[in-house]
Structure 1
Amino acid sequence: MKLLRRLSRKPIIGPVAHNLITLLANREVKRVSRHFSQYLKPQLAISDELKDESYRIRHNVYCDELHFEPQRQSGMETDEFEPQSVHCLIEHWPKHRFAGTVRVVRSHSSQELLPLEKFCSDTLEQATLKPSQFHRDEVCEISRLAVPASYRRRTMDQYKGAETGVINEDTYSETELRCFPFIAVGLYLAAASVMVNLGIRHCFVMMEPRLARSMNFVGIRFQQVGPVTEYHGKRAPYYIEPEQGLDELNTGFQLLYDRIDQDLAAQVKLLQSLQDDKKKYARPPEILNARYPSVTSLYPLRHV
Structure 2
Amino acid sequence: MFSPEKFNLGNAFKQYFEIIPAFSNALKEEVYRIRHQVYCEDLEFESIRPDRREIDEHDANSLHLLMRSVKTNEFIGCTRIIRPRSGDPYYQLPFEETCASVLDRSIINTGSLPRDKIAEISRLAVVNGYRRRKGEAHMPASISEEDFGTQGLPRFPYIPIGLYLGTTELARMNGIDTLFVLTEERLAQHFGKLGVKLQVIGGAIEHHGRRLPSMMSVTNIIRDIRSIIRPVYNSIAEDIKRNLPETGNGLPGIENEHSESRSQVTIAVNPAT
State the TM-score, normalized to the length of structure 1: 0.76
Q: Which residue of 1 aligns with 2:258?
A: 302
Q: Which residue of 2 aligns with 1:87?
A: 64
Alpha-carbon separation, structure 2, partners of 1:87 and 1:207:
19
| 1:159–1:111 distance in 2 versus 1, CA, 3 Å | farther
1:147–1:165 contact (8 Å) kept in structure 2: no
User: Which runs of 5 or more structure 1 residues have no equivalent in the other structure?
Assistant: 1-20, 274-291
Paired positions, count: 257
Structure 2 letter corresponding to 1:185: I
Q: Which residue of 2 aligns with 1:148?
A: 127
Structure 1 letter corresponding to 2:23: I
- 1:90 shift after superposition: 0.6
Q: Which residue of 2 aligns with 1:121?
A: 100
> Does residue 208 in structure 1 map to residue 164 in structure 2?
no
| 1:197–1:175 distance in 2 versus 1, CA, 3 Å | farther
1:51 paired residue among 9, 28, 41: 28
- Deviation per CA, 1:66-117, whole angstroms, max 9, x where unpaired? 2221221221211110001011011113322111111011113433321112
- 1:212 shift after superposition: 2.6
The structure whose Rg is larger is: 1
| 1:247–1:161 distance in 2 versus 1, CA, 3 Å | farther
What does 1:1-304 align with in structure 2 at a 5 Å threshold?
24=3, 26-30=4-8, 32-107=9-84, 108=86, 109-124=88-103, 128-152=107-131, 157-158=133-134, 166-170=142-146, 172-173=148-149, 175=151, 179-268=155-244, 270=245, 294-295=249-250, 297-299=252-254, 300-303=256-259, 304=262
Q: Provide the alpha-carbon RMSD of the alignment.
A: 2.6
User: Which runs of 5 or more structure 2 residues have no equivalent in the other structure?
Assistant: 263-273
| 1:102–1:37 distance in 2 versus 1, CA, 3 Å | same
Select the structure that is richer in helix: 1
State the TM-score, normalized to the length of structure 2: 0.84
The secondary structure found in structure 2 opposite 1:123 is coil
1:52–1:76 contact (8 Å) kept in structure 2: yes
Structure 2 letter corresponding to 1:46: F
1:149–1:163 contact (8 Å) kept in structure 2: no
- The percentage of counterpart residues that share the same residue type is 29
